[in-house]
Amino acid sequence: MMLRSNRLLSCVLVSSALFVLGLSACGDDAAPPVADPCAVAVNPCGAGECVNLAGAYVCTCPAGYRLASTPTLTCADIDECAEGITVCTQVPMATCANTVGSYDCACPPGYLGTGRGGGGCLADEPLLEGLVVGDGALLSPAFASSTTMYTVALAVGATATTLTPTVAAPARMTVTVDGALVASGASAALDVGFAPRPVEVVVTTTASGATRTYTLVLRRSESTYVKASNTGAGDGLGACLSLSADGTRLAVGAPREGSSATGVDGDQANDSAPSSGAVYVFARAGASWAQEAYLKASNTQLGDTFGSAVALSADGLRLAVGAAGEDSTAAGIDGDQSDNSALGSGAVYVFARTGTSWAQEAYVKASNTAAADSFGAGAVSLSADGLRLAVGAGGEDSSATGIDGDQGNNAAAGSGAVYVFARSGTSWAQEAYVKASNSAAGDNFGARGLSLSADGTRFAVGASSEDSAATGIDGDQADNSAPNSGAVYVFGWTGTHWAQEAYLKASNTGANDSFGDSAVSMSGDGGWLAVGGVTEASSATGIDGDQANDGAVDSGAVYVFSRTGTTWRQVVYLKASNTRASAYFGMCVAISVDGTRLAVGAYGDTSRATGIDGDQADTTAAYSGAVYVFTRTGTTWAQEAYVKASNTDVNDTFGFALSLSADGQHLAVGAEAEDSSAVGFDGDQSDDTALSSGAAYAY
């Protein structure tokens, strides 16, 4: 402590923390009193505390200050940064910034913390602490925070999975999965789809903005390979098939199977009724499939081709089966099955499952049965509840138009008709006899393309040989200058009767394009409709390409329409990603219940690839066949997957038939000309000793 007077420096008290300045008296020499030196406008101690001590003052300096003698004796700031007496973390080096009475330490980019002491600057790395996959999926390799590339393999039959990411510091890190923000430790649900697809898990630190991306490639397991329990050459298993809404039950037709058995689970071993036909019902529990029933007609006869068309209700408990070659002259429900005097008139058989047993529920014929009408040949559709049934008869000959016209005349050979049946209680009855608004000989209205909406209040019918050159919606039906261009007719239920709602043509109508041939599929609410033009000739590829050229004969195309109210419009024109002549893209189509996923068969595809997204450019396996899966996001369509059989071979015609589950997550594909003699599930696919026995593949 120092003592200073304006007259005499008389005594000194030394202290490193205190400084006393003022007038004092020592011994007997008394001085007059002086004013308080602290009671001035400007604190003489600066940032320190000034204390009056009998006319002198004491300065107490706070931390970060020291006593200074210039320019006056006061408490002055210490520049810790300049004097190198900071405690900023040295590794990594924090930047020191002096402040009045103190200093700050700033961590370098990529680090967090105060920069002081042992904790100092901590690396702000955006790392996952954990990543867990669910629903039976397998993450490979095992998770490590430094590993950023993984594959996720789903269990057989699984179509979705969950990802659960965690981070060590949720307060300063965010996580997104597929672009959506996810809380640390919360699960994100993912639709896997049919092709391997990358999912990005991005960790971002909110303090520094640093990011790290983890990429996971989701892979569906390989398909289940399905054969009949009595595989035989020429049986044609997979000529038609139908999945239940949840994908757990599958009905597959083999219209050329030869057993003379009747009913359910009869003798499969004999071949005494060639091409009588059979249907096999398979059920899936988890990842495992098993054959549930072997179905035959109640009046099995050679050449009846029972199984030429199949349709399951949504719950898989009711099944309609067409037999195009059946010969009875019976009309209506449960008539005389034994009379075979109307060759090729056709019939439909309805089966129902009660408990664990299947049984035939009804034998259905047209109200105007006639030879060669082919009732039920390739066009059978059930509503979701199984209470409404639509059946096509492409060979029917009446020249009537519209609803419930004159069934008795045969003035328009092969014009075609559709019959709608409804079930009330335990009984079926015909509800309507439906003809095109421009019936003409040879149009084949209802021959193959037919689809009911899930609620059964709307259906679409193809007429592959219709001849109008009109394009788009409700054009000129009378112009027949484009032979076999094809058309589709949409009908709606008004509550009391059926009425034609729309007449649809392709946007690039051309002769022999077969628009609406076998490929017509309506979404659950009837708001989306996919139509194939199996012999369309454009060489365009992908989405909305050049429709005008005819450089790839019989390459095929698919047209998707949407409905607002009762107004329809074409929304997209789809081609294969590897368009080539005679591929017959659009031979069959299936759209999910919400219209967001669409599968398209092309039985003439030539690639020898196997599985998902193989080499599309290969041309060494003629008529091996393929399926293309498309998805819609909002109004945008994109190809999601290119699907081949697991045992691709020449002339197998994979994609001749297909079916999607309601949610679009399960796909079944038929290959009626596949040649293996295997039986049951996942047998020897390489054996080609049973030519055209046929197979189905479940994804």
99 within domain boundaries: yes
pLDDT of 608 reads 98
Asked which of 148-157, 326-335, 604-613 is least confident by mean pLDDT, the reply is: 148-157
DSSP track, 11-23: -----SS--EEE-
Question: Looking at residue 578, what DSSP letter applies?
Answer: T
Name 269's Cβ contacts closer than 8 Å, sequence gap at least 6: 230, 259
493 within domain boundaries: no
Supply angle C-alpha 231, 237, 238, rounded to 5. 150
561 within domain boundaries: no
Give φ, ψ of 75 to 5 degrees: -90, 120
- How far is Cα 486 from Cα 513, in angstroms, rounded to an integer? 7
Same domain? 151 vs 200 = yes
Same domain? 47 vs 86 = no
**192 with 127: CB under 8 angstroms?**
no
Q: Is 565 left (phi over 0), alpha (psi -120 to 50) or beta?
A: left
388 within domain boundaries: no
87 within domain boundaries: yes
Q: How far is C-alpha 429 from the chain's CA centre?
A: 38
**% residues pLDDT > 90 (the chain):** 75
**530 with 521: CB under 8 angstroms?**
yes
Residue (of 156, 111, 165) closest to 135 by Cα position? 156
pLDDT of 19 reads 41
* Stated pTM of the model: 0.81
Same domain? 45 vs 100 = no
pLDDT digits (tens, 9 = 90+) for 652-696: 999 999 999 999 999 999 999 999 999 999 999 999 999 999 999
CATH number for the domain spanning 199: value is: 2.60.40
Which is more confidently placed, 4 or 79? 79
- How far is Cα 458 from Cα 492, in angstroms, rounded to an integer? 4
Same domain? 212 vs 133 = yes
Q: Is the peptide bond before 32 cis (omega within 30 degrees of 0)?
A: no
Asked which of 58-72, 83-97, 225-239 is least confident by mean pLDDT, the reply is: 83-97
pLDDT digits (tens, 9 = 90+) for 103-123: 888 887 767 677 877 667 777
Q: In the chain, helix, strand, coil percent, each to 5?
A: 0, 40, 60
- pLDDT surpassing 50 at residue 410: yes
Domain that holds residue 25: 20-77
CATH number for the domain spanning 119: value is: 2.10.25
Supply angle C-alpha 386, 230, 281, rounded to 5. 15
497 within domain boundaries: no
- How far is Cα 641 from Cα 629, in angstroms, rounded to an integer? 5
- The mean pLDDT value of the chain amounts to 91
Same domain? 73 vs 88 = no
Same domain? 135 vs 195 = yes
Query: Pick from 163, 189, 219: which residue ends a domain?
Result: 219
pLDDT of 71 reads 66
The single-letter code of the amino acid at 257 is E
pLDDT of 91 reads 65
The single-letter code of the amino acid at 651 is N
- How far is Cα 404 from Cα 433, in angstroms, rounded to an integer? 5
Supply angle C-alpha 523, 527, 529, rounded to 5. 60
Name 527's Cβ contacts closer than 8 Å, sequence gap at least 6: 562, 563, 595
351 within domain boundaries: no
How many domains in the chain? 3
Same domain? 118 vs 133 = no
Q: How many CA atoms lie less than 13 Å away from 266 in the CB half-sphere? A: 19
Query: Pick from 10, 44, 77: which residue ends a domain?
Result: 77
pLDDT of 8 reads 26
Give the DSSP H or E segment for 249.
strand 249-254
Burial category of 286 from C-beta neighbours within 10 Å (exposed 0-12, middle 13-18, buried 19 and up): exposed
Same domain? 148 vs 197 = yes
Average pLDDT over every residue of 72-98: 81
Average pLDDT over every residue of 618-623: 98
Give φ, ψ of 372 to 5 degrees: 70, 15
Average pLDDT over every residue of 597-608: 98
Q: How far is C-alpha 310 from the chain's CA centre?
A: 25
Count of residues making up the chain: 699
Supply angle C-alpha 197, 199, 200, rounded to 5. 145
pLDDT digits (tens, 9 = 90+) for 504-540: 999 999 999 999 987 899 999 999 999 999 999 999 9
Query: Pick from 63, 92, 123: which residue ends a domain?
Result: 123
pLDDT digits (tens, 9 = 90+) for 297-315: 999 999 999 999 999 999 9
The sheet with strand 427-434 has its strands ordered as: 375-382, 388-393, 417-424, 427-434
For tokens 């940064």, the residue is 81
For residue 686, what are its two tokens?
């390489």
pLDDT of 221 reads 72
- With H, G, I as helix, E, B as strand and everything else as coil, classify residue 39: coil
Q: How confident is the model at residue 352 (pLDDT cuts 50, 70, 90)?
A: very high
- pLDDT surpassing 60 at residue 137: yes
- pLDDT surpassing 60 at residue 30: no
- pLDDT surpassing 50 at residue 9: no
174 within domain boundaries: yes
- How far is Cα 435 from Cα 437, in angstroms, rounded to an integer? 7
pLDDT digits (tens, 9 = 90+) for 255-287: 999 999 999 999 999 999 999 999 999 999 887
Q: Is the peptide bond before 92 cis (omega within 30 degrees of 0)?
A: yes
Same domain? 137 vs 181 = yes
- pLDDT surpassing 70 at residue 13: no
Same domain? 193 vs 135 = yes
Same domain? 133 vs 107 = no
Same domain? 101 vs 184 = no
